[in-house]
Amino acid sequence: MATTAQELNSAEEAYAAVNELDKVLYLQYIKVNTELGNSEVVTNDNDNQFYVQNIPGRAERTAEVMMMTGAVEEAENILLRNGLPLKAIMVNIHTHNWNR
């Protein structure tokens, strides 16, 4: 449940409690290698500052979680919708989906 809700810390603890080391390591990989939460400050012409979250990082993180839950096609669609076709191709390569 925590995985599908993208509560990665809770999911990591739950998988660790049942000795699912491969899933714990993959969740750690997702958390380290995606940029969700990293915001950049953007200043407009009037010197007003506002924060913009890194949307591709969010898409990559969501796609990785979808792959972990077995929804590979949904992960591919998320990447394609967010302008990341090379990453979508890599999803198919990693899952040996040669017909795509």
Residue 72 half-sphere exposure toward CB, CA atoms < 13 A: 11
pLDDT, position 45 = 52
Cβ neighbourhood burial of 46 (10 Å; 0-12, 13-18, 19+): exposed
Domain ranges of the chain: 54-100
Cβ atoms of 61 and 34 closer than 8 Å: yes
- Which residue's entry shows tokens 């792959």? 67
Residue 81 predicted with pLDDT over 90: yes
* Average pLDDT for 90-100: 84
Sign of CA dihedral 36, 38, 42, 48: positive
pLDDT, position 33 = 66
Q: What is the pLDDT of residues 15-46, one digit of tens each?
A: 999 988 888 888 887 777 655 455 444 455 55
Average pLDDT value over all residues in the chain:
75
